[in-house]
């Protein structure tokens, strides 16, 4: 059994190695789109692969729990916080590398529409940034991601998607580091070995996405930017803003049965527990009040899931990762089924 002082020991060890990149009692709520929840015992603003290797070393020595944070778009942190080391890679893995030239030696602007182009994006890069930068360069195939508020790393892990596409459709391979096997260093894994499926993957929790190579194609810049504008317009019209994580539940039968439709069928829009409620605008969005409680958000998630199961037989799988709660959320790791 791990010594209860392990998090403090881990922090002291990391401070010796990483200095001011390590902060104690960092609030995590502001780093998530729900903007609720408590603090991490220790927080590391990783600036290199070596920093991640130091975290892996601390984990091996002390048994401390490690939480990787991207854009925090599918994460709910308990009000009590996270008793471990939270790590952000945004400081060094947020880059987007666009090709100046392609294999035939011509600039992208001189290539024919449809010609393949590879783009490399860091694991901490925001999907909307990658979508806008590629579109502005006349590179198409990633416009769908402009409305997804996550990072490349998180998007690979859950095979994020929308508007007719997903990560599985464009990832070539990913650069990884394994906290369970730090001696392996940085390595690459092909998309075929990631087990990508609808809103899920087989990527082990200890393997951290440092970057992804994307297979996109040359296209008309104006058309790409127009598609992005249309996606943004559609999302503003049909989805709420405010403090939420986007869609909470995976559609149980993609293309046929939607979670939002099941929730709507039970007239649950506006259903509230304390400081959290089901959006009036989209039934698969669960909102949090400013200064609200993570416990209330979870209570609404569980209540909605229970009511849907009782009324329809569908057991909805949540896309939300629960952090710091006393118990786990097994339905986050199971396929929804009727």
Helix, coil or strand: residue 133: helix
The active-site residue, picked from 247, 259, 276, 293, is 247
Give me the pLDDT at residue 99, please: 87
What does the pLDDT look like over 243-302, one tens digit per residue?
999 999 999 998 899 999 999 999 999 999 999 999 999 999 999 999 999 999 999 999
For the question of residue 247 being annotated catalytic, the response is: yes
Percentage of the residues of the chain whose pLDDT score is greater than 90: 86
- Contact present, 225 and 213 (Cβ < 8 Å): no
- Two structure tokens written together for 314: 């569908």
Residue 338 pLDDT > 70, yes or no?
no
The active-site residue, picked from 88, 157, 259, 319, is 319
Residue 166 pLDDT > 50, yes or no?
yes
DSSP secondary structure string for all residues of 151-181: BHHHHHHHT-EETTEEGGGTEEEEEEEETT-
For residue 214, give Cα distances in angstroms to 140, 173, 191, 231. 11, 8, 10, 20
For residue 289, give Cα distances in angstroms to 81, 294, 298, 299, 301. 18, 10, 13, 14, 15
Residue 131 pLDDT > 90, yes or no?
yes
What does the pLDDT look like over 199-219, one tens digit per residue?
899 999 999 999 999 999 999
Give me the pLDDT at residue 109, please: 59
The active-site residue, picked from 71, 157, 199, 317, is 199
d(CA 334, CA 338): 13
Higher pLDDT, 17 or 99: 17
Sign of the dihedral defined by the CA atoms of residues 317, 84, 76, 242, in that order:
negative
Helix, coil or strand: residue 38: coil
What does the pLDDT look like over 299-332, one tens digit per residue?
999 999 999 999 999 999 999 999 999 864 433 3
Give me the pLDDT at residue 104, please: 44
Residue 114 pLDDT > 90, yes or no?
no
- Contact present, 212 and 121 (Cβ < 8 Å): yes
Beta pairing, strands 66-69 & 82-88 = parallel
State the pTM of this model: 0.88
- Two structure tokens written together for 131: 């979508």
DSSP annotation of 317 reads P
Q: Kindly report which listed range (69-78, 109-118, 160-169) carries the lowest average pLDDT score.
A: 109-118
Residue 333 pLDDT > 70, yes or no?
no
- Contact present, 271 and 224 (Cβ < 8 Å): no
For the question of residue 199 being annotated catalytic, the response is: yes
- Contact present, 96 and 78 (Cβ < 8 Å): no
Q: Which domains does the chain have, with CATH numbers?
A: 6-88 (3.30.43.10), 96-237 (3.30.465.10), 240-333 (3.90.78.10)
Which residues lie across from 212 on neighbouring strands? Answer: 121, 174
Give me the pLDDT at residue 253, please: 93
Q: Which residue has the tokens 């609720």?
A: 36
Residue 100 pLDDT > 80, yes or no?
no
At 96, which helix (H) or strand (E)? strand 96-97
Residue 2 pLDDT > 70, yes or no?
no
d(CA 128, CA 160): 13
d(CA 11, CA 222): 50
Residue 7 pLDDT > 80, yes or no?
no
d(CA 88, CA 46): 6
Give me the pLDDT at residue 91, please: 82
DSSP annotation of 327 reads S
Give me the pLDDT at residue 327, please: 67
For the question of residue 165 being annotated catalytic, the response is: no
For residue 199, give Cα distances in angstroms to 51, 75, 301. 29, 15, 18
207 Cβ neighbours under 8 A, 6+ residues apart? 176, 177, 178, 179
The rounded mean pLDDT for the chain is 91
d(CA 173, CA 323): 28
């Amino acid at each position: 059994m791990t010594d209860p002082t392990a998090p403090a020991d881990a922090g002291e060890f990391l401070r010796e190695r990483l200095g001011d990149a390590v902060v104690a009692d960092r609030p995590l709520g502001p780093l998530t789109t729900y903007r609720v929840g408590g603090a991490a015992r220790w927080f590391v603003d990783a600036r290199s692969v070596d920093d991640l290797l130091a975290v892996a070393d601390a984990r091996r020595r002390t048994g401390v729990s490690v939480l990787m944070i991207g854009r925090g778009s599918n994460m709910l942190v308990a009000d009590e916080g996270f008793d471990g080391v939270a790590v952000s890679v945004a400081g060094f893995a947020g880059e987007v590398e666009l090709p100046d030239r392609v294999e035939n030696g011509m600039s992208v602007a001189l290539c024919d529409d449809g010609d393949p182009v590879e783009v490399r994006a860091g694991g901490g890069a925001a999907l909307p940034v990658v979508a806008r930068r590629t579109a502005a360069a006349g590179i198409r195939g990633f416009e769908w991601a402009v409305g997804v508020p996550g990072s490349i790393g998180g998007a690979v892990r859950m095979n994020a998607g929308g508007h007719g596409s997903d990560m599985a459709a464009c990832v070539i391979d990913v650069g990884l580091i394994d906290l369970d096997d730090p001696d392996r260093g940085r390595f690459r894994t092909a998309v075929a070995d990631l087990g990508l499926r609808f809103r899920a993957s087989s990527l082990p929790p200890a393997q951290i996405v440092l970057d992804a190579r994307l297979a996109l194609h040359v296209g008309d810049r104006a058309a790409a930017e127009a598609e992005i504008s249309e996606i943004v317009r559609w999302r503003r019209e049909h989805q709420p803003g405010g403090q939420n994580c986007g869609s909470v539940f995976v559609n149980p039968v993609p293309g046929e049965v939607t979670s939002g439709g099941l929730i709507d069928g039970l007239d649950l829009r506006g259903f509230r527990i304390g400081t959290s409620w089901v959006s009036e605008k989209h039934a698969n969005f669960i909102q949090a009040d400013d200064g609200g409680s993570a416990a209330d958000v979870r209570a609404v998630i569980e209540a909605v899931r229970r009511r849907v199961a009782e009324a329809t037989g569908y057991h909805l799988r949540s896309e939300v990762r629960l952090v710091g709660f006393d118990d786990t959320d097994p339905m986050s790791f199971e396929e929804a089924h009727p």
